[in-house]
Amino acid sequence: MAGFPNNKEAIPKELRYMQMVQESCVLKVGFSGVGGFVLGGVFGMFMSSFEMASVDPAIYEQPMKQQLKATAKDMAKRSFSMAKNFAIVGSIFSGTECVIETYRAKNDLYNGVASGCITGAVLAAKSGPQATLIGCAGFAAFSTAIEYYMRRE
C-alpha cells in the first residue's frame, strides 16, 4: 500500500503541509479579502469614470489641472469604497463556505447556496428581518447560478 495516495506515509510531509495550508479557512478568507479588494478597486475605478452624478457644475470653470485633481480624488474615493465592499463580501462568503464545507466534509452545490444565504443575510441584517430574508434569497440564488455554471460538465 506504499504507493497509494490515501496512505499518509506515501505523501511527503511537505506536500501534506502545503495541502493543509491550501485548505485553511483563514488563508481562504485572507486571499478572498485581498482578491476582492483588488477586484473591487479596479471595478470601482472603472465604474466611477462613468458616473457624473456627483460632479459639481462649478468645477468646469476651474483650470484643467484642478478638474483632473478633483476627478481623480473622487475616483479614488469611490474605488476604495467599492474595494472595501468587495473584500467584505468575498471574505464573508469564502469563510462561511469553507466552514460549511469543512463541517459537511463535502464539496458540492449546497455549500455555495448556504454560504450565499448566510452572506446575504449578514450583509442585510442591519436593515431588518425582511431585508435579511431578501438578502439571503438573493445571494443564495446568485450563488446557485454561479455554482451551477461552474460545475456543469
DSSP 90-135: HHHHHHHHHHHHHHHT--SHHHHHHHHHHHHHHHHGGG-HHHHHHH
How much is the mean pLDDT over the chain?
Answer: 87
Q: What is the pLDDT of residue 9?
A: 62
Q: What pLDDT, in 10s, does the model give residues 7-38?
A: 556 778 888 888 887 788 999 999 999 999 99
Q: Is the pLDDT of residue 54 over 70?
A: no
Residue identified by cell 459639481 is 56
Tell me the C-alpha to C-alpha distance, in Å, between residue 76 and each of 54, 57, 80, 112: 14, 20, 6, 32
